[in-house]
Amino acid sequence: MKLHRFNEDGIYRFEQFLDALANDPKFPIPTELLTHPSCAVVVLPGIDIEQREFPDRMAAAKYLNDILNDVRNDDVARDVGLWAWLSLFFFNQICPADSEGDRRVGAQRTTWIPQIDVSRRFYRHALLGPYLAYRAHRDAPERGRVLLSDPMHVTTSEAFRLFIETAFVNMAGPVALATEFYFNSERNKLRRGAGTKGKGGLRRYLNVLQQLDVTYDLHSLSVDGLRALLPEEFSRWAS
Amino acid sequence: MPIRRINSTGRKKLLREDTRIVLTQHGNGMSSFDAMLNLADYELPANANVFVEAYRQSTFMRFPYGTVQSPLASNDISRTLTEFPTRDGVLFRVKVVSAGEGGGLLLAEGDQIPPTSTEDREDRRIPLLPTAPADLGQEVWCVEIGASGPLLQVNRHLQDWKAVAGSPVFRSLTYPSAMREILRQILLVDEVFDADDESSWRGRWLRFACSLGAGEPPEQDTEESEKAEWIDAAAKRFAHQHQILNYYKAHLDSEEAQ
């Protein structure tokens, strides 16, 4: 299928579907909207997009980054119609049915249709958020593992939220060190205890970064340089 | 409450007049930038590195921009804002960073620098309330308050949102309400009361309200009702100074006459 974007009618019909699904969790996915000429237009220059099964948000973000690189002269990150269309295209993965065949869309429409101008909501979109985080580390994606290790339908990762709400999401050293500290690469998930609110936890790590950011240009620091500046409480993660 | 960044490190604040960013739009729609930096009066090490950063929400680009002695971009490095196909909402930051042994220290910084374009008229005022298009459903406007300050969002589906946002009639209907909302956020939600913090958008707004004759901002332990009264007085003084009702009535009269 060619990559499309929804026009206003398409977004409206998609919203109607989400409302219907909220009332009837078995409501069928209206895949016909994806190519209906009154709802969607092809994104130039004509890009093929495939249904793929992604093991986690990182894999999805990589795929989206690869295909969206070919979109020219368009502010992809601010294209509401495009991201709403992608939500429907990958709906089975970002809103999977449970064993009863029910889907839970929740009350947050921004998970499916991005609110790109709202600073604390734009990243909550199930696909746009991972895409932005991936682009920030596309030169070395493994660095950002701690941000994007969740399955496609999990959009509430605290590690992801803590970073993307700050400028630290773009900084190689702080993100790489967070992955080293808090990410278990064998189990592809956060280490036990990473999410604690106390000493050495992720939230505390972000607080310390805020303090260091006043004194240092954190972009200029290497991972080892940053590690050397951290208080003792983080040493337990070093191993 | 937001995290307060207390400057106890001796880093210097680069003034807006010394950090000017000019955008040039090219035929392919992309923009590139030039930074006019005057760092001579800040007593910074000549070999300290200079960086220019462009950002919008989580999208970010960083460019080395020479040294304090010679704050110029290398010809080898593109200054095209490839991550920002439109300039809407893009702001800039200039950093001066120590070099050599002990490198990485932030020596000076200028933040939230709005770019001008080669087509724009000269205007170096700090926009207290910049405007930007947004998808607002059936709302015409709203105030969005982010980490870098308030933004007056205007529905992008208006035919010419820039013309609407710039029209005096629109301003007369929106600005007093927007001002109340922003001051309520600063005093009642964020609980910031320091009008002297020049590096903070909250400080700039409080100073602006003071300049209208509203008096010094209330203090932290002031009763909430008194804080609300101060906000109300500031908005009323703003409306009075700009004769907003009279302007709006004149507009209605001129419409009736047509």
On chain A, the residues whose CB falls within 8 A of the CB of B97 are 217, 220
Q: How confident is the model at residue A183 (pLDDT cuts 50, 70, 90)?
A: very high
Q: How far apart are CA A83 and CA A74, in angstroms?
A: 13
Count the Cβ atoms, other than its own, within 10 Å of residue B107: 22
Q: What is the pLDDT of residue A239?
A: 61
Q: By C-alpha distance, which of B149, B210, B213 is closest to B181?
A: B149
Over 60: is that where the pLDDT of B8 sits? Answer: no
On chain B, the residues whose CB falls within 8 A of the CB of A80 are 135
- A106-156 pLDDT, tens digit per residue, is 888 999 999 887 777 888 899 999 999 999 999 999 999 999 999 999 988
- B81-118 pLDDT, tens digit per residue, is 988 887 778 899 999 999 987 788 999 999 989 898 76
Chain B nearest C-alpha distance from A73 (Å): 6
Q: How confident is the model at residue A29 (pLDDT cuts 50, 70, 90)?
A: very high
- Chain B window 5-44: which residues touch A at a Cβ cutoff of 8 Å? 5-9, 11, 28-29
pTM higher than the cut 0.80: no
Q: What is the pLDDT of residue B4?
A: 47
Q: Coil, strand or helix: which one is A7? A: coil
CA dihedral A54, A59, A61, A63 (to 10 degrees): -80
Q: How many residues does chain A have?
A: 239
Q: Is B78 in the A-facing interface, judged by CB distances under 8 Å?
A: no
Residue A173 structure tokens: 């050293």
- B156-186 pLDDT, tens digit per residue, is 888 788 888 878 788 888 999 999 999 999 9
Q: Which residues contact A223 (CB under 8 A, 6 or more apart)?
A: A173, A176, A177, A180
Chain A nearest C-alpha distance from B247 (Å): 31
Find the residue in A nearest to B155 (Cα).
A117
Q: What is the pLDDT of residue B7?
A: 52
ipTM, two decimals, is: 0.82
Find the residue in B nearest to A79 (Cα).
B135
- A80-100 pLDDT, tens digit per residue, is 999 999 999 999 999 999 999
- B203-220 pLDDT, tens digit per residue, is 889 988 888 777 888 988
Query: pLDDT > 90: what percent of chain B?
Result: 29
Residue pair B187/B170 in contact (Cβ under 8 Å)? The answer is no
Q: Coil, strand or helix: which one is B123? A: coil
Chain B nearest C-alpha distance from A200 (Å): 19
- Closest partner residue to A214 (CB to CB) among B9, B89, B134 is B9
Q: How confident is the model at residue B121 (pLDDT cuts 50, 70, 90)?
A: very low
For an interface test with A, which of B12, B58, B59 has the most A Cβ atoms less than 10 Å from its Cβ?
B58
- Chain B window 112-141: which residues touch A at a Cβ cutoff of 8 Å? 132-135
- Angle among Cα B231, B232, B237 to the nearest 5 degrees reads 100
Residue A201 structure tokens: 């936890």
Q: What is the pLDDT of residue B3?
A: 46
Q: By C-alpha distance, which of A182, A147, A194 is closest to A168?
A: A147
Q: What is the pLDDT of residue B200?
A: 81
Contact flag B11-A214 (C-beta cutoff 8 Å): yes
Q: What is the pLDDT of residue B134?
A: 83
Residue pair B31/B125 in contact (Cβ under 8 Å)? The answer is no
Over 50: is that where the pLDDT of B77 sits? Answer: yes
